Amino acid sequence: MGLHLTEGYDRAPGTNSTAYNPGEPSLNMGLVRWEPKKMPLKVWISPGLSLPELSFSELQKVRPDQVYQMLVTQQDPQVNPSGDPFFGLPVANGWTPETNVQVQAGISEWSQFQNEGLFSFTFTDNPREAQIMVFFVDAFRDSTSPGGVMVGGNTCAQVYPLAQAMSVNIQQKPVIIELSTLVNSSPEKMIGATAHEFGHALGIKAHSPYRDDIMHENRIVTQLSPADKATIRRLYKSKPAYVM
């Protein structure tokens, strides 16, 4: 999630490149990241599509399964002659084709780490092969999080214990990013929100406590900070407790 009305801390001098804890708060801050065998991650950016409205509190537990079921059930030509798994979904108010250019720019903020061999990703036009999917919403109206309708984005993922993933071939459910066209009404805001949410999709689950990091809830930047970079490096060089 991103863009709440939450204060951040100031760093002590000389600590601007110190990594913060990226663990999953609901799993005792256990580390989460993608398995190397899943690389390159395939990212699909929808043409402005808005998923069926849900209570904000339901998104984390419902969205991955909901989208996965769309991908599976809509393959039946008797059910969906068009073959489009998202046939009939509306386009979010405020979306334009230029929005997707901004989203791609935000995701590309993380591309430098491909050269370091930490992970890799690519964009795809085929939603059926995507592991990370981007949808849009005008606003998360019933959010109970700080900031309410000021929430700029949300990322939902199902994670699995590493030991389970190593012993069982788990069917991958896509990671779902949703971005608000209302909150992110300028190119700079959409780029920053996308970079933030893609950081969650890569495995930085907890927010940074510092506002000058892209992964703070109420970030004041649109680019990765030295601490964001240190955090993703530490995460992908560590053995995780959970994987996607």
**Averaged pLDDT, 155-176:** 87
Does the pLDDT value for residue 14 go beyond 90?
no
* C-alpha to C-alpha distance for 39 and 42, rounded to whole angstroms: 8
Please state the separation of Cα 131 from the chain's center in Å. Answer: 11
pLDDT tier at 1, thresholds 50, 70, 90: low
**Averaged pLDDT, 142-161:** 74
pLDDT tier at 56, thresholds 50, 70, 90: confident
Does the pLDDT value for residue 4 go beyond 60?
no
Q: Show the tokens assigned to 100.
A: 């997707």
Model pLDDT for residues 71-116, shown as the tens digit of each residue: 987 666 666 667 789 988 999 999 999 999 999 999 999 999 999 9
Could you give the percent of the chain with pLDDT greater than 90?
A: 66
User: What pLDDT shows up at residue 199?
Assistant: 97
**Averaged pLDDT, 22-45:** 95
Q: Show the tokens assigned to 185.
A: 């009404």
* C-alpha to C-alpha distance for 131 and 40, rounded to whole angstroms: 10
User: What pLDDT shows up at residue 148?
Assistant: 43
* C-alpha to C-alpha distance for 159 and 38, rounded to whole angstroms: 14
pLDDT tier at 171, thresholds 50, 70, 90: confident
User: What pLDDT shows up at residue 20?
Assistant: 94
Residue 242 dihedral angles phi and psi, to the nearest 5°: -135, 155
Q: Show the tokens assigned to 39.
A: 């690389």
* C-alpha to C-alpha distance for 66 and 150, rounded to whole angstroms: 24
Q: Show the tokens assigned to 210.
A: 């510092």
Put residue 14 in one of left, alpha, beta given phi > 0 → left and psi -120 to 50 → alpha: left
- Asked if 125 contacts 44 with a C-beta cutoff of 8 angstroms, the reply is yes
Does the pLDDT value for residue 173 go beyond 60?
yes
Lowest mean pLDDT among 131-135, 149-153, 179-183: 149-153
Q: Where are the domains of the chain?
A: 25-243
**Averaged pLDDT, 189-197:** 96
Helix 97-107 and helix 187-202, axial crossing angle in degrees, nearest 10: 50
**Averaged pLDDT, 134-154:** 74
The alpha-carbon radius of gyration of the chain (Å, integer) is 17
**What rounded mean pLDDT belongs to the chain?**
88
Write a three-state SS string for 132-177.
EEEEEECCCCCCCCCCHHHCCEEEECCCEEHHHHHHCCCCCCCEEE
Model pLDDT for residues 207-226, shown as the tens digit of each residue: 999 888 999 988 878 899 99
- Asked if 183 contacts 2 with a C-beta cutoff of 8 angstroms, the reply is no
Lowest mean pLDDT among 39-53, 82-96, 116-130: 82-96
Who contacts 132 (Cβ-Cβ below 8 Å, separation ≥6)?
Answer: 41, 42, 43, 44, 121, 174, 175, 177, 198, 201
**Which CATH number applies to 25-243?**
3.40.390.10
Residue 51 dihedral angles phi and psi, to the nearest 5°: -75, 160
Q: What is the reported pTM? A: 0.89
